[in-house]
């Protein structure tokens, strides 16, 4: 429930008037407001700038510094205000969070300063609203990269590296040539040989002057031996390099599949194939074709050039745009080629012999090359030819700058769309977990509530205070509302969504039902999270109070083993069903710090409420301090139940 909506709770409770006349069962008692304080303004002095707000505004998030009693440490008796020696600019955002329920990240703020402030005030950064979340994450990532870079350079300077294996050192040397002199030498040598190889390929074909008595030869054939030696040397170097990389690669399979390794292979294969094949006339044609692949050696330069790599990557990411351009071009080409063919069909000795033959004309005209080898002769052909060249200008010249600007726009947009999709999933998960959080909270406090009702009658006020200390008034009122709804319909809430509970790995509540029956029936699959904290030896089924509404549930719960470890907050749920029995319960330290300890849960921490219940507002409050309840011996016999609360009160029997 969002913070602001808490103010509408009286309305929601009033709206329950519609349920009362149709309810079959009597309604549970409303939580009374003990120590109802008039809402007061409190003054927060942050480095001299005074902020004022209602006390209840701050108490919306009891798990933060300002919402809990931790702020009392900062209370200044002389000036009767809370003084914080922190940044007032960031405090503005934080206070707005209490007011609106949304935490914003101001763009001008430094990310690490902001994080520190959030940590100080006990607010988790994950609850930053979606409007600012992307920006926050971007900045955080940049910062992390910067830190990593700093660390790396520190490491390099210190020279104290953890001892890597020889293989790892080699891989590092290959990937980052600046790590050692040897790597640098290797880098330059390979670069040199790539250049030599490419130049050789090019020069090979240049006509080199005549041998007397025959026609002009290309250099490759005149100095065949020299070129062959050069080629061999280059291929040797490339082969050695490839094999070394293969040896050093951390994941050989992945390395083999990578683009660079394919280029390497393609670059050196022709030579070996040429070696293997004899000078057969038949296959020499194919062999010549293979030599074309030697030009791929030039792509090996991409290891040496950052720019080439970026270009390749951006082309890859803009493939769809380029594809669309090609597609529209193709469409236009086909249309105009067809038109030109039929237009020129009548004229004699026309070069437009078929539609595919007209393709060439269309392409040349549309790209405004205009070789002039194919020219329309009929008037209609000339008309359409001119339309073709005009539209060519439009079709090609216009999209190109658009595509160029699309590069950066689409690239960033894709990234944002992916981020948003991930965010959306995370946000839906958050919402769902918040829902289960609030319903868990409700179920949890229902137990406490019933406990409370049982106690209330014979109990004293201080006991009540102990019991409800953990839940705020708003929560207890909300739970009372949900309880009334249950009573009206005669049904009771379960934890939502078996899928969700598995995914978020929260513990399942035992519901207020016959556990054994239910387990057997429905929720066997989803209860699997819970096995470890239940002892199969628990057998005592207690016959609890019957409910009304024409049905008698046998409500039973398990007596928890005393071996339930108390430090695991997961067992909180278990403990909540501990009745007012004498059971030795190790005391729980349900402090705020322990809440923060559960970082391993994989839940968005905002929704720790799912674990700890009592969170309407999706930030958990300290769980109800049930240890106090447990340590008390049971109030004894059910006979103390006053007649008024007859049907809905848990009858506790001390076994």
Partner 1 sequence: MERTSLHNDSLLYASLIAILLLISYWFTTRCFKIISGIEDSVEDEFELSTVCHRPEGLEQLQEQTKFTRKELQVLYRGFKNECPSGIVNEENFKQIYSQFFPQGDSSTYATFLFNAFDTDHDGSVSFEDFVSGLSTILRGTIDDRLNWAFNLYDLNKDGCITKEEMLDIMKSIYDMMGKYTYPAMREEAPREHVENFFQKMDRNKDGVVTIEEFLESCQKDENIMRSMQLFDSVI
Strands (E), 177-306: 207-210, 216-218
Q: Which is nearer to partner 1, 18 or 162 (CB)?
A: 18
User: Cβ of 430: how many Cβ atoms within 10 Å?
Assistant: 20
Q: Which is nearer to partner 1, 406 or 594 (CB)?
A: 406
| CB contact at 8 A, 652 and 580 | yes
Q: Is 639 in the site for partner 1 (CB under 8 A)?
A: no
| CB contact at 8 A, 405 and 579 | no
Task: Report the distance separating Cα 89 and Cα 111, nearest Å.
Answer: 13
Of 197, 438, 506, 573, the one binding partner 1 (CB under 8 A) is: 438
Q: Which is nearer to partner 1, 262 or 335 (CB)?
A: 335
Q: Is 1 in the site for partner 1 (CB under 8 A)?
A: yes
For 44, 119, 132, the CA distances from 145, given in Å and listed in that order, are 36, 21, 20
Nearest residue to 615 (alpha-carbon basis) of 495, 454, 475: 475
Contacts (CB under 8 A) with partner 1, residues 371-410: 380, 383-384, 387
Q: Which is nearer to partner 1, 251 or 354 (CB)?
A: 354
Least distance (Å) between residue 438 CB and partner 1: 5
Q: Which is nearer to partner 1, 183 or 337 (CB)?
A: 337
Scanning 45-53, 250-258, 468-476, 489-497 for contacts with partner 1 by CB under 8 A, the matching segment is 489-497
Contacts (CB under 8 A) with partner 1, residues 125-154: none
Least distance (Å) between residue 498 CB and partner 1: 8
Of 9, 265, 298, 322, the one binding partner 1 (CB under 8 A) is: 9
Q: Is 485 in the site for partner 1 (CB under 8 A)?
A: yes
Q: Is 482 in the site for partner 1 (CB under 8 A)?
A: yes
13-17: long-range contacts at Cβ-Cβ below 8 A with a sequence spacing of 24 or more? 13/477, 13/480, 13/481, 16/481, 16/484, 16/485
Of 285, 346, 370, 458, the one binding partner 1 (CB under 8 A) is: 346
Least distance (Å) between residue 501 CB and partner 1: 10
Task: Report the distance separating Cα 364 and Cα 394, nearest Å.
Answer: 14
How far separated are the first and last CA of the chain, in Å rounded? 40
Scanning 118-126, 214-222, 253-261, 478-486 for contacts with partner 1 by CB under 8 A, the matching segment is 478-486
Scanning 26-34, 269-277, 410-418, 574-582 for contacts with partner 1 by CB under 8 A, the matching segment is 26-34
Q: Which is nearer to partner 1, 585 or 648 (CB)?
A: 648
Contacts (CB under 8 A) with partner 1, residues 527-556: 551
Q: Is 41 in the site for partner 1 (CB under 8 A)?
A: no
Of 33, 175, 216, 221, the one binding partner 1 (CB under 8 A) is: 33
Contacts (CB under 8 A) with partner 1, residues 302-341: 339
Q: Which is nearer to partner 1, 2 or 277 (CB)?
A: 2
76 forms beta bridges with 81
82 forms beta bridges with 44, 75
Phi, psi of 45 (to 5 degrees): -100, 110
Scanning 149-157, 174-182, 316-324, 473-481 for contacts with partner 1 by CB under 8 A, the matching segment is 473-481
Scanning 2-10, 192-200, 300-308, 352-360 for contacts with partner 1 by CB under 8 A, the matching segment is 2-10
Q: Which is nearer to partner 1, 381 or 627 (CB)?
A: 381
Question: What length does the chain have?
Answer: 655
Q: How many residues bind partner 1 (CB under 8 A)?
A: 63
| CB contact at 8 A, 134 and 423 | yes
Largest CA distance in the chain: 128
For 26, the token pair is 């009597």
User: If DSSP codes are grouped into helix, strand and coil, which group holds residue 562?
Assistant: coil
| CB contact at 8 A, 332 and 391 | yes
Of 5, 110, 224, 315, the one binding partner 1 (CB under 8 A) is: 5
Contacts (CB under 8 A) with partner 1, residues 581-620: none
Of 488, 547, 585, 606, the one binding partner 1 (CB under 8 A) is: 488
Task: Report the distance separating Cα 337 and Cα 577, nearest Å.
Answer: 82
Establish how many alpha carbons lie within 13 A of residue 589's alpha carbon, considering only the half-sphere containing its beta carbon: 6
Of 194, 235, 343, 619, the one binding partner 1 (CB under 8 A) is: 343
Name 421's Cβ contacts closer than 8 Å, sequence gap at least 6. none
Q: Please, what sign has the CA dihedral across residues 506, 619, 444, 434? A: negative
Of 200, 365, 439, 606, the one binding partner 1 (CB under 8 A) is: 439
Scanning 15-23, 139-147, 182-190, 278-286 for contacts with partner 1 by CB under 8 A, the matching segment is 15-23
Q: Is 489 in the site for partner 1 (CB under 8 A)?
A: yes
DSSP per residue, 586-616: PPP---HHHHHH-GGG-S-GGGGHHHH---S
Contacts (CB under 8 A) with partner 1, residues 494-523: 494-497, 511, 513, 518, 522
Name 439's Cβ contacts closer than 8 Å, sequence gap at least 6. 493, 495, 496
Of 161, 491, 499, 655, the one binding partner 1 (CB under 8 A) is: 491
Task: Report the distance separating Cα 235 and Cα 300, nearest Å.
Answer: 13
| CB contact at 8 A, 438 and 1 | yes
Least distance (Å) between residue 451 CB and partner 1: 20
Task: Report the distance separating Cα 98 and Cα 93, nearest Å.
Answer: 9
Scanning 17-25, 75-83, 453-461, 583-591 for contacts with partner 1 by CB under 8 A, the matching segment is 17-25
Q: Which is nearer to partner 1, 439 or 571 (CB)?
A: 439
Q: Which is nearer to partner 1, 26 or 312 (CB)?
A: 26
| CB contact at 8 A, 28 and 453 | yes
Q: Is 18 in the site for partner 1 (CB under 8 A)?
A: yes
Task: Report the distance separating Cα 429 and Cα 629, nearest Å.
Answer: 34
Q: Is 14 in the site for partner 1 (CB under 8 A)?
A: yes
Q: Which is nearer to partner 1, 14 or 349 (CB)?
A: 14
The H or E element spanning position 402 is helix 399-456
Nearest residue to 266 (alpha-carbon basis) of 240, 228, 230, 292: 292
Planar angle of CA 94, 99, 103, nearest 5 degrees: 45
69-73: long-range contacts at Cβ-Cβ below 8 A with a sequence spacing of 24 or more? 70/122, 70/592
Q: Is 342 in the site for partner 1 (CB under 8 A)?
A: yes
Q: Which is nearer to partner 1, 1 or 580 (CB)?
A: 1
Least distance (Å) between residue 362 CB and partner 1: 15
Of 93, 455, 474, 481, the one binding partner 1 (CB under 8 A) is: 481
Task: Report the distance separating Cα 54 and Cα 67, nearest Å.
Answer: 11
Binding residues for partner 1, rule: CB under 8 A, are: 1-2, 4-5, 7-15, 17-27, 30, 32-33, 38-39, 339, 342-343, 346, 380, 383-384, 387, 434-435, 438-439, 477-478, 481-482, 484-486, 488-497, 511, 513, 518, 522, 551
């Amino acid at each position: 429930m969002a913070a602001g909506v808490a103010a509408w709770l009286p309305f929601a409770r009033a709206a329950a008037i519609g349920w009362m006349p149709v309810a079959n069962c009597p309604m549970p008692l409303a939580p009374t407001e003990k120590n109802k304080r008039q809402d007061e303004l409190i003054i927060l002095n942050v480095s001299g700038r005074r902020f004022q707000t209602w006390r209840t505004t701050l108490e919306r998030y009891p798990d933060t510094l300002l919402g809990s009693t931790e702020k009392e440490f900062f209370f200044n008796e002389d000036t009767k205000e809370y003084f914080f020696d922190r940044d007032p600019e960031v405090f503005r955002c934080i206070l707005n969070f209490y007011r609106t329920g949304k935490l914003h990240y101001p763009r001008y703020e430094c990310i690490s300063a902001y994080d520190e402030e959030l940590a100080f005030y006990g607010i988790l950064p994950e609850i930053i609203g979606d409007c600012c979340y992307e920006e926050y994450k971007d900045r955080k990532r940049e910062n992390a990269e910067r830190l990593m870079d700093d660390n790396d350079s520190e490491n390099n300077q210190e020279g104290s590296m953890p001892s890597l294996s020889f293989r790892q050192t080699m891989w590092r040397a290959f990937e980052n040539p600046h790590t050692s002199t040897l790597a640098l030498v290797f880098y330059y040598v390979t670069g040199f040989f790539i250049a030599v190889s490419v130049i050789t390929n090019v020069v090979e074909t240049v006509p080199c002057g005549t041998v007397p008595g025959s026609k002009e030869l290309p250099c490759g054939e005149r100095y065949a031996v020299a070129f062959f030696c050069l080629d061999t040397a280059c291929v040797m170097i490339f082969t050695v390099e490839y094999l070394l990389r293969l040896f050093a690669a951390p994941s050989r399979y992945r390395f083999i599949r990578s683009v660079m390794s394919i280029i390497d292979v393609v670059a050196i294969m022709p030579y070996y194939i040429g070696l293997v094949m004899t000078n057969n006339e038949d296959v020499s044609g194919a062999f010549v074709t293979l030599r074309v692949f030697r030009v791929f050696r030039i792509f090996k330069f991409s290891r040496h050039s950052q720019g080439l790599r970026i270009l390749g990557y951006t082309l890859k990411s803009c493939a769809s745009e380029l594809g669309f351009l090609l597609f529209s071009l193709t469409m236009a080409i086909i249309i105009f080629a067809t038109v030109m063919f039929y237009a020129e069909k009548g004229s004699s000795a026309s070069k437009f012999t078929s539609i595919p033959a007209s393709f060439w004309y269309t392409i040349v005209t549309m790209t405004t090359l205009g070789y002039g080898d194919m020219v329309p002769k009929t008037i209609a052909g000339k008309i359409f030819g001119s339309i073709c060249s005009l539209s060519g200008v439009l079709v090609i010249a216009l999209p190109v700058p658009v595509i160029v600007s699309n590069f950066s726009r689409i690239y960033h947009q894709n990234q944002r769309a992916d981020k948003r999709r991930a965010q959306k999933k995370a946000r839906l998960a958050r919402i769902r977990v918040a829902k289960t959080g609030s319903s868990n909270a409700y179920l949890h406090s229902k137990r406490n509530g019933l406990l409370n009702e049982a106690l209330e009658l014979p109990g004293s006020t201080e006991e009540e205070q102990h019991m409800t200390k953990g839940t705020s008034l708003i929560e207890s009122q909300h739970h009372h509302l949900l309880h009334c709804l249950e009573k009206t319909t005669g049904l009771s809430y379960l934890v939502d969504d078996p899928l969700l509970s598995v995914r978020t790995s929260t513990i399942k509540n035992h519901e207020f039902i016959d556990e054994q029956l239910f387990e057997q029936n429905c929720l066997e699959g989803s209860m699997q999270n819970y096995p470890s904290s239940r002892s199969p030896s628990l057998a005592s089924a207690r016959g609890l109070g019957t409910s009304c509404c024409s049905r008698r549930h046998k409500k039973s719960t398990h007596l928890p083993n005393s071996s339930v470890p108390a430090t695991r907050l997961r067992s909180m749920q278990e403990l909540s069903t501990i009745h007012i029995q004498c059971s030795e319960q190790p005391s729980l330290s349900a402090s705020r710090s322990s809440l923060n300890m559960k970082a391993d849960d994989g839940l968005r921490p905002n929704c720790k409420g799912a674990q700890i219940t009592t969170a309407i507002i999706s930030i958990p409050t300290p769980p109800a301090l049930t240890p106090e309840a447990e340590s008390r011996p049971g109030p004894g016999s059910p006979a103390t139940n006053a007649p008024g609360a007859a049907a809905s009160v848990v009858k506790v029997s001390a076994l």
